Structure 1
Amino acid sequence: MILSLILICVSCGSVDTYTSPDYDSGKYTAVSFEQLLKDPNQFDKKKIELVGIFHYGMEEAGLTNKKNPKNRIWIEFDYAKKMIDKNGKSLFKDEKLLRYSGKEVKLKGVFNKENTGHLGIYFAAIEDLHYFGK
């Protein structure tokens, strides 16, 4: 009984991995928030991989840095694009995005320094997302 409860709690806290059908794992450069803030021109319109704390809610879809949560990147979700896990379940169904809010995730997409997101309060955006997960 106790083991079952532990397994349930562990699975509730994890983030599943979702990819688009045309995802290619070898084409992304791993970068940090610090690198993006220091020289956004170097990564503009390039495929990047970024890890941060995911935030999702009313008028919010972003990634923040653990060290400085004020540095926020907008996530430009394309809700028409398929983003599925290994079982074929969609990232955009069953309030998964809300459940992952506050958790650390890895994103792979295209960095756009000109897109400052909803209400212009983000320093940049990740667009053309192909990977959301751990």
Structure 2
Amino acid sequence: MKKVCLIILIFTIISCSKELVFYKDSVEAHNYLSVGNNSHLLEDKSYVELEGIFNMDFENVYLEHPSERIWLEFDFFNKLKNSEGKKLDGKMLKEFNGKKIKIKGKLSFGNTGHLSAYKMKLTEIVFLKTMYPDGAEMK
């Protein structure tokens, strides 16, 4: 019984640490400002790299950044893809739910999202990657 529990535990750890990375092949040359936890660096119409917790629920897709919730606006007509060529869709986005991610895109201020409940949105998303809870990148 102990061996079975150990095998299940090992399998769970391995499957939970699976790295998910999606990106666009052709990306315009922008300097993406890595904001980290420094919300004071956020500027309207800037291209940023953010880290936070990805959330997806009924009619809401957003990033929990340390001091703000940021609406995420994915362009499903020009999808991100992974190294295997799989394209990111709404069903695949569910795999990111509740996970710490790194994401790149264009930040805009103004009421947006479901019922205009968000003060910021990220559009022109070109990169999405899962991270370990402590913020370290998965290898």
Which TM-score applies when normalising by structure 2?
0.76
Whichever structure has more strand as a proportion of its residues is: 2
**What displacement does 1:13 show?**
4.4
Tell me if structure 2 keeps the 8 A contact 1:48–1:108: yes
Q: Which residue of 1 aligns with 2:49?
A: 49
Deviations 1:35-86 (A, max 9, x none): 2xx465xx21111000000001210100003x55xx2100011111120011
1:78 is aligned to 2:75: yes
1:127 is aligned to 2:131: no
**What displacement does 1:6 show?**
2.2
Whichever structure has more helix as a proportion of its residues is: 1
- The structure, 1 or 2, with the larger RCO (C-alpha pairs under 8 Å, 6+ apart) is 1
Aligned ranges 1:3-82 → 2 under 5 Å: 6-7=10-11, 9-23=13-27, 27-32=31-36, 34-35=38-39, 38=40, 40=42, 43-65=43-65, 67=66, 71-82=68-79
**What displacement does 1:9 show?**
3.9
1:10 aligned counterpart, secondary structure: helix
Identity, in percent, stands at: 29
How many pairs align?
A: 126
Tell me if structure 2 keeps the 8 A contact 1:62–1:72: yes
Tell me if structure 1 keeps the 8 A contact 2:60–2:113: no
Q: Provide structure 1 residue ranges, at least 5 long, that are not aligned to the other structure.
A: none
2:82 aligned counterpart, secondary structure: coil
2:94 aligned counterpart, secondary structure: helix
Q: Distance in 2 between matches of 1:100 and 1:125?
A: 18
1:98 is aligned to 2:94: yes
**What displacement does 1:96 show?**
1.5
Q: Provide structure 2 residue ranges, at least 5 long, that are not aligned to the other structure.
A: 131-139
**Letter paired with 1:91:** L
Q: Distance in 1 between matches of 2:62 and 2:118?
A: 8
